[in-house]
Amino acid sequence: MNQPDTDADDVMAADFVMGLLDDAEHAAAERRIETDGGFARAVSAWRERLADLDSTAEETAPSPALWQRIADATKIAPIDALPSARAALRGATIWDDIKFWRFAGIGGALAALLFATIMVGALTTSRHLRNDLIALAQSKPVYVAVLVNDTTREAGAIVNAFANGRVELVPLRPIEVPPGRTLQVWTLWDRAVGPKSIGLTGQSRTLQLNLESLPETVQNQLFEITLEPEGGSPIGRPTGPILFKGNAARTL
């Protein structure tokens, strides 16, 4: 099982770990690790074989400013605890289960409908009950945008905007990100101002979006995900292809 499919694969895995591949081959090997389990195992095996050589390096103190620079640079993506990683810590997989979330989504929609029905009734019932229902409403998004791919019409992600100003991106499918590229989330609040970057991530995962510098989310506000160079678009505007986009709609 630990054997790669062919000797050629093993040679490539060894050269990859040794650092002997040229740039294009190296990038191709990095992509293959993501998709080819046998190749990834061969790479891991070579890493483990040669890893002792790393421990022969002499320790050299970094300059005191280095950590601060790293700390500053890793603030760029406002990453909240992401569900898939929490699941990995617990060993649970329900967070990764798309079927569960589809049903949860449908369930959520039904709950919203039921809630709306109750809400209408609640207007005429006791003030006490009404306050309870308003409290419940705080935990539900006020606006939802379903981001869809223009060509395939597949839904790729949902943006939820809550009453307290929190906005999150929830992916619905894995999005392939080539090495050296990143997913960037944008919103267009005002056409005169143009799109604003609100999040950056190396992979499709739940992301807290940063809309602090923007006014409250409004009806029909455009959200989109584009593929950009690592570190985000260098010019502050989308440069890469639009993967998914959609407009915010008010929930019931």
Name the site residues for another protein (rule: CB under 8 A): 10-11, 14-15, 17-20, 23, 40-41, 44-45, 47-64, 66-67, 69-71, 73-74, 77, 79-82, 84-86, 88-89, 201-203, 205
CB of residue 93 to another protein, shortest distance in Å: 14
Query: For another protein, which is the closer residue by CB, 89 or 192?
Result: 89
Place of tokens 């395939």: 152
CB of residue 223 to another protein, shortest distance in Å: 22
- Please choose, from the candidates 201, 169, 168, the residue with its C-alpha nearest in 3D space to the C-alpha of residue 182: 201
Q: Where is 202: in which H helix or E strand?
A: none
> Coil, strand, or helix at residue 87?
helix
CB of residue 105 to another protein, shortest distance in Å: 23
CB of residue 121 to another protein, shortest distance in Å: 41
CB of residue 161 to another protein, shortest distance in Å: 21
Query: For another protein, which is the closer residue by CB, 145 or 200?
Result: 200
Reading the block at residue 184, the tokens are 């960037």
Question: What are φ and ψ of residue 228, in 5° steps?
Answer: -130, 165
Place of tokens 């967070």: 95
Query: For another protein, which is the closer residue by CB, 9 or 189?
Result: 9
Place of tokens 């909240």: 80
Query: For another protein, which is the closer residue by CB, 60 or 213?
Result: 60
Question: What are φ and ψ of residue 104, in 5° steps?
Answer: -60, -35
167 C-beta neighbours (distance < 10 Å), count: 26
Query: For another protein, which is the closer residue by CB, 174 or 194?
Result: 174
Query: For another protein, which is the closer residue by CB, 67 or 103?
Result: 67
92 exposed, middle or buried (CB, 10 Å; 0-12, 13-18, 19+)?
Answer: exposed
What residues form DSSP beta bridges with 170?
A: 158
CB of residue 104 to another protein, shortest distance in Å: 21
What residues form DSSP beta bridges with 186?
A: 197, 224
